[in-house]
Amino acid sequence: MKKGSFSKFSSRVIGELVLIIVGVTVALWLENELENLKDRNIEKDYIESFDVDWHADIKELEQVIAFNKSLKSKTETLFSRIQSNTISDEDLPSELFIIMNYRYFTPQDFTLQSLKESGEFRLIQDREIRRKILRLQRQYRFINEAQDNYQHALDNYIVPLINENIDLAHGRLITVNFKNDHRLSNLVMYTINDVESRIALYQHSLDFLKTLTSKTTTK
């Protein structure tokens, strides 16, 4: 092969190799961009789903807080009447139904569970939102633990003590002067303190959720 022909052949081969390399590079770049776009769309869907869950949680928390504030106020009135001995034996049974009431908070966690099960939590690229999501879950765990503890007290102490001393079906006392029993005062005071503590947990999560939803709405 002549020198000139070889030079032209070499240039053509090199040119074709360059085109192949450029083509492969562009194809990989496009594939990567498409994958990133797909991930961002998935992230956007998750953020929107979180926002729906969190708005539902806000509504639920507001209702739970209102219920428990009313419960706390009624229980404080009951405690005051017991302490001042201004509640009659006839009224006590019906009044004790107050401390047997409760309303707990159950968060909407479908989106978070989907993220955990799919292993796609990494797609939430905003580190601040990721950090706040995890912080919110810790707060929800604290709420759940507090609710479990109160339910345990209800099932194992409060309800058995009331059933032991009151005929709920007929609304009358079984034990004379039960209103003067220190155990009654203790359980009413325990209810006041526990409800107050849970209200604080609910309110803290509610305030945090409002800032979190405000953050995601502006994105």
DSSP secondary structure of 15-74: HHHHHHHHHHHHHHHHHHHHHHHHHHHHHHHHHHHHHHHHHHHHHHHHHHHHHHHHHHHH
Domain housing 199: 3-217
The answer to whether 54 and 209 are in contact (CB under 8 A) is: yes
Number of domains in the chain: 1
Question: How much is the pTM?
Answer: 0.81
Confidence of residue 57 (pLDDT cuts 50, 70, 90): very high
Q: What b-and-e string marks burial along 199-213, b requiring 16 or more CB atoms within 10 Å of the CB?
A: bebbeebbeebeebb
Summarize pLDDT for 105-124 with one digit per residue, the tens. 999 988 888 877 777 777 77
Q: Which two tokens stand for residue 175?
A: 């034990």
Q: Report the pLDDT averaged over residues 182-205.
A: 96
Residue of higher predicted confidence among 153 and 171: 153
Predicted pLDDT at 19: 73
CA distance 208 to 94: 38
CA distance 105 to 132: 19
CA 204 to centroid of chain Cα atoms: 11
